[in-house]
Structure 1
Amino acid sequence: MEKDVLEKFRNQLKEKQEEILEEVGKTLSEMTDQTTNIPDPNDRATVESGRSFELRIRDRERKLLSKIDEALNRIDEGTFGVCEDCGEDIGLKRLNARPVTTLCIDCKTIQETKEKSKGL
């Protein structure tokens, strides 16, 4: 892959990484600020539901951060954009849509088909 294209992906990944870390900081700050006792059970349930939702989002972002780190390492190692299953290049359309991917569209489709057949 060309050096300028790799740098574009590196910058895109780093921007997303910074964005996630910024949101984590905001969430932590908001949750520590909301330590007041809420006497009304309905209000408390609403607050707890919101916190639970926020924590689920942050957990997904934590997993994404790990994938971003792995993608940045692949850029450094020169393996970014190469399918880990078949060794073929991953298409730029797919990488633009999901820069953390490790599978080309064909291998991903096969993987999903296998997962669906196991679930049935």
Structure 2
Amino acid sequence: MAGVLSDEIDVLAKARRAMPGDYLPSEDEPYMCEAQQDYFRRLLLEWKKSILSASENTLSALQEGPIREPDLNDRASSETDWSIELRTRDRQRKLIAKIDAAMRRIDEGEYGYCEVTGEPIGLGRLIARPIATMTVEAQQAHERREKVSRDN
């Protein structure tokens, strides 16, 4: 699981590096001003582009043909690697839907505000997790409720 999350973080870091300019949202600006919205929209688009590019690379490699390792252990290892790769791509496919939802929230003027409390999520959290929909406190409460219902 940690590997999948680090892959997601790597793709987001790659998207950040690919963004033009050196603007970074600041607490000195009005929250979710046009410049901040534009920054997050470009970041989300770049993140989506990076994910789609990685998917295309995986698809190309899959189309090259079946695994033809002569040794059974090598073949099993290769199949395990492909299984992990495909699970990562499936997770990123779901991530694209969240990125699209975040861009929709930007267009509707709801981006950056908690869907539970309506309070600002905060620039630090959005920079770390641009698809966040809740404040840290609301997310923790949600996870506690989820855990309690799972335990019952």
Q: Distance in 2 between matches of 1:90 and 1:38?
A: 50
Q: Distance in 2 between matches of 1:87 and 1:8?
A: 21
Q: Which residue of 2 aligns with 1:2?
A: 33
- TM alignment of 1:68-87, pairs within 5 A: 68-87=99-118
Q: Which residue of 1 aligns with 2:97?
A: 66
Q: Distance in 2 between matches of 1:14 and 1:58?
A: 17
CA shift digits 1:41-98 (9 cap, x unpaired): 2121011101001011101111111100000011111110111111111111111111
- TM alignment of 1:1-120, pairs within 5 A: 1-120=32-151
Moved over 3 A (4+): 36-39
Is there any run of 5+ residues in structure 1 with no aligned partner, and where? Answer: none
* Letter matched to residue 58 of structure 2: T
How many residues get paired? 120
Q: CA RMSD for the aligned pairs?
A: 1.3
Per mean C-alpha deviation after superposition, the further-off stretch among 58-67 and 39-48 is 39-48
* Letter matched to residue 128 of structure 2: A
Per mean C-alpha deviation after superposition, the further-off stretch among 36-45 and 57-66 is 36-45
Q: How high is the TM-score relative to the length of structure 2?
A: 0.74
TM superposition shift of 1:39 = 3.8
3-state SS, counterpart of residue 141 of structure 2: helix
Q: How high is the TM-score relative to the length of structure 1?
A: 0.93
Q: Distance in 2 between matches of 1:108 and 1:114?
A: 10
TM superposition shift of 1:119 = 3.5
Larger RCO (alpha carbons 8 Å, 6+ apart): 1
The percentage of counterpart residues that share the same residue type is 44
TM superposition shift of 1:36 = 4.9
* Letter matched to residue 123 of structure 2: L
